[in-house]
Amino acid sequence: MKRISQARRDAKQLFRLCLVDGLLDADRVRQVVLRVSETNNRNRLIVLCEFRRLVKFDSTKHSATVESATPLQAEMKASIQAELSRVYGVGLNTTFIHNPDLIGGMRIKVGSDVYDGSIKARLATLESRF
């Protein structure tokens, strides 16, 4: 148990070293993974697994997916991206997807937050009430 706790602390410290102005630097992440994998430390696999978990969590926290029933115009994309950056901070990677299954409206997912204003979701809510 002591080994795992120490490995988690080490992974957190390495993760913090990879942050530049609050954002994860991909080059530093690669360097950390290479250096840790080259060591003969018996905890290196635990450290790398925990480090991977932290990087993955940060990656999902800084990525947004916007699904819309119709293709969005450039002005609308810029407006949505600006508002999401205002709410969630800089460094947000936004992906726009055209999904006709939504029927109308849009669904936005940022990390574990989901904002669903689609017709499909409203119909599903209405159906569950009956």
Per residue of the chain (130 residues), give pLDDT as tens: 688 899 999 999 999 999 998 899 999 999 999 999 999 988 999 999 999 999 999 999 999 999 999 999 999 999 999 999 999 988 899 999 999 999 999 999 999 899 999 999 998 998 998 8
Q: In this predicted structure, what is the pLDDT of residue 57?
A: 93
Residues composing the chain: 130
Max Cα distance, the chain (Å) = 62
d(CA 29, CA 19): 9
The per-residue pLDDT for 113 is 94
- Torsion sign over Cα 33, 45, 93, 19: negative
